[in-house]
């Protein structure tokens, strides 16, 4: 293969770029200029970014926006959001202001347990394995003391280790299913280090166990890894007010609005095709804050969507009730987050975002992130059941279309004014630009 390269990782940054340009690009000069345009002029800061991952050639920027006026448990927050999708920050800001005047968001952390597993193969009698595990369990914990001592000093550590028989799923397959408390750390490295120590101790103790035959002594560890499914690391956020207090400029009839809003949520509670899009809107808010605070949004996404399907059918993460004239809207969601470790001490804008949020603990950050998801969903469902989603979204998307056509500042000013009273569609914007330029 003519494009294959050996030793790419050993090339310097400049050498990597030149190889890519000469191999894949036609306009080499323009492509080189683009790559370098996104380098940070602060060489120390650029070096920091280069060392976050491997084979770096430049930076890929996302806008960092802020949604202010979030009242959470009677404290006011401005929430940082890193996202490329238009209308997300605007919708969050609008929802925050709406609920600021109606009692704000109320939150609580339900639990903070995280999970890790040692997956292994054991060919032998289960009762013998169970007896062996009961004896070896204290040794698993004791052998991990060097790893856990600092976490234990702060109040965290290993909560429990269970033996789980999974032979109904795969022949001879078992797990050590361990639970952890990692406090303000997301805890991935801590958990994985503990699990690998468990695996080593398990294998060594099995070899010494006189009750096992030779085959039973040969426990085969397949892998040791944390789980991003954290159904017991849960946070709840909710808003509520008398239905009559929902009345506003765009909600002239609060009774009709509340009924329709609840119907929309009820549909997402039973219809997976709607639930996926419904929950995607929630994740618009959640991912943006998770990313801004240096957490792993892929892990959060995976865990949240698994939780949405925990009962065998993918359903809504939010719920709504109307009871005795009271409107209530809430979310219960698993979020494994950290405010120490990882990028939190490295990325300058992560530090900035955390300071903006008053340097929260992991529990406080869970609550803030859950609120961002609930606010985003409220804004989306409110639009869907009143004006329709496209009216607000396309007005926010207008600037992206204008930038695609390289509109001047003067053209942007005139066209933004024009579309205050006209429907925004891609073709309408194109026509307006062409008419203006003629």
Q: How does DSSP assign 191-218, residue by residue? A: HHHHHHHHHHHHHHHHHH-TTS-HHHH-
pLDDT tens digits for range 161-170: 999 999 999 9
Does residue 56 fall inside a structural domain? no
Q: Indicate whether 314 and 405 sit together in one domain.
A: no
pLDDT tens digits for range 207-258: 999 999 999 999 999 999 999 999 999 999 999 999 999 999 999 999 999 9
Share of the chain above pLDDT 90, in %: 85
Q: Indicate whether 270 and 207 sit together in one domain.
A: no
Q: What is the DSSP letter of 412?
A: H
Higher pLDDT: 422 or 295? It is: 295
Residue 110 has phi, psi (to 5 degrees) of -85, -45
Q: Indicate whether 246 and 344 sit together in one domain.
A: yes
Q: Indicate whether 253 and 381 sit together in one domain.
A: yes
Higher pLDDT: 418 or 186? It is: 186
What domain range is 214 assigned to?
A: 114-226
Q: Indicate whether 221 and 244 sit together in one domain.
A: no
Q: For residue 340, what pLDDT band results from cuts at 50, 70 and 90?
A: very high
* Sole residue written with tokens 């340097």: 359
Q: Indicate whether 189 and 322 sit together in one domain.
A: no
Q: What is the CATH number of the domain that holds 168?
A: 3.30.70.420
Q: Indicate whether 286 and 242 sit together in one domain.
A: yes
Q: Indicate whether 377 and 353 sit together in one domain.
A: yes
CA distance 149 to 194: 11
Does residue 2 fall inside a structural domain? no
Does residue 3 fall inside a structural domain? no
Q: What is the pLDDT of residue 1?
A: 58
pTM: 0.89
Mean pLDDT for the stretch of residues 389-413: 70
- Element containing residue 223 per DSSP (H, E): strand 220-226
Q: Indicate whether 247 and 361 sit together in one domain.
A: yes
Chosen domain end from 226, 253, 281: 226
Q: Indicate whether 357 and 432 sit together in one domain.
A: no
Any residues with CB less than 8 A from the CB of 411 and at least 6 apart, and which?
402, 433, 436, 437
Does residue 215 fall inside a structural domain? yes
Q: What is the pLDDT of residue 395?
A: 55
Q: Indicate whether 378 and 281 sit together in one domain.
A: yes
Q: For residue 317, what pLDDT band results from cuts at 50, 70 and 90?
A: very high
Residue 309 has phi, psi (to 5 degrees) of -110, 15
- Exposed, middle or buried: residue 88 (CB in 10 Å: 0-12, 13-18, 19+)? buried
Using DSSP, state whether 88 is helix, strand or coil. helix
pLDDT of 191 over the 70 cut:
yes
Residues classed as catalytic: 85, 280, 296, 393
Mean pLDDT for the stretch of residues 1-29: 93
Mean pLDDT for the stretch of residues 106-126: 97
pLDDT tens digits for range 25-76: 999 999 999 999 999 999 999 999 999 999 999 999 999 999 999 999 999 9
Q: What is the pLDDT of residue 50?
A: 94
Does residue 273 fall inside a structural domain? yes
Does residue 339 fall inside a structural domain? yes
Mean pLDDT for the stretch of residues 126-153: 97
Q: HSE-up of 17 (CA within 13 Å, CB side)?
A: 17
Q: HSE-up of 306 (CA within 13 Å, CB side)?
A: 14
Q: What is the tally of structural domains in the chain?
A: 4
Mean pLDDT for the stretch of residues 268-274: 98
Q: Indicate whether 240 and 350 sit together in one domain.
A: yes
Does residue 261 fall inside a structural domain? yes
Q: What is the pLDDT of residue 434?
A: 79
Report for 319-323, 395-399, 407-411: range of highest mean pLDDT: 319-323
Q: What is the pLDDT of residue 392?
A: 54
Give Dmax over CA atoms of the chain in angstroms: 91
- Nearest Cα neighbor of 290 from 334, 238, 338, 330 is 338
- Residue 351 sits at the vertex; the CA angle it makes with 348 and 354, to the nearest 5 degrees, is 150
pLDDT of 283 over the 70 cut:
yes
Mean pLDDT for the stretch of residues 175-186: 96
Q: How many CB atoms within 10 Å of residue 412? A: 14
Does residue 157 fall inside a structural domain? yes
């Amino acid at each position: 293969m003519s494009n294959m390269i050996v030793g790419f990782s050993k090339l310097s940054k400049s050498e990597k770029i030149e190889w890519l340009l000469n191999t894949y690009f036609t306009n080499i000069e323009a492509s080189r200029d683009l790559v370098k345009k996104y380098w940070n002029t602060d060489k120390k800061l650029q070096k920091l970014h280069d060392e976050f991952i491997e084979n770096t050639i430049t930076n890929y920027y996302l806008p960092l926006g802020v949604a202010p006026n979030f009242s959470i448990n009677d404290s006011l927050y401005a929430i940082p959001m890193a996202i490329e999708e238009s209308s997300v920050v605007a919708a969050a800001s609008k929802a925050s202001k709406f609920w600021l005047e109606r009692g704000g968001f109320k939150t609580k952390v339900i639990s903070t347990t995280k999970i890790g597993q040692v997956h292994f193969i054991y060919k032998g009698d289960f009762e013998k394995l169970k007896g062996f595990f009961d004896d070896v369990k204290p040794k698993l914990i004791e052998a991990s003391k060097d790893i856990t001592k600092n976490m234990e000093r702060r109040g965290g550590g290993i909560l429990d280790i269970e033996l789980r028989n999974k032979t109904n799923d795969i022949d001879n397959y078992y797990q050590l299913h361990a639970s952890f408390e990692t406090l303000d750390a997301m805890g991935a490295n801590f958990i994985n280090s503990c699990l690998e120590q468990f695996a080593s101790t398990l294998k060594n103790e099995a070899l010494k166990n006189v009750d096992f035959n030779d085959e039973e002594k040969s426990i085969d560890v397949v892998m040791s890894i944390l789980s991003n499914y954290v159904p017991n690391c849960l946070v709840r956020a909710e808003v509520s007010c008398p239905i009559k207090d929902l009345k506003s400029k765009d909600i002239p009839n609060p009774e009709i609005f509340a009924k329709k809003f609840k119907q929309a949520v009820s549909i997402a509670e039973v219809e997976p095709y709607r639930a996926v899009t419904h929950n995607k809107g929630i994740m618009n808010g959640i991912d943006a804050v998770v990313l801004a605070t240096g957490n792993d949004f892929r892990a959060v996404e995976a865990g949240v969507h698994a939780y949405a399907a925990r009962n065998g059918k993918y359903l809504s993460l939010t719920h709504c009730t109307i009871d005795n004239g009271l409107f209530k809207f809430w979310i219960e969601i698993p979020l494994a987050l950290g405010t120490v470790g990882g990028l939190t001490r490295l990325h300058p804008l992560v530090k900035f975002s955390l300071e903006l949020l008053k340097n929260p603990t992991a529990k406080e950050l869970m609550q803030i992130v859950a609120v961002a998801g609930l606010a985003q969903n409220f804004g989306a469902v409110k639009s869907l059941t009143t004006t329709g989603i496209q009216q607000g979204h396309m007005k926010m998307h207008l600037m992206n279309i204008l930038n695609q056509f390289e509109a001047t500042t003067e053209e942007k000013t005139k066209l933004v004014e024009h579309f205050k009273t006209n429907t925004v569609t891609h073709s309408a914007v194109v026509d307006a630009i062409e008419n203006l330029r003629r």
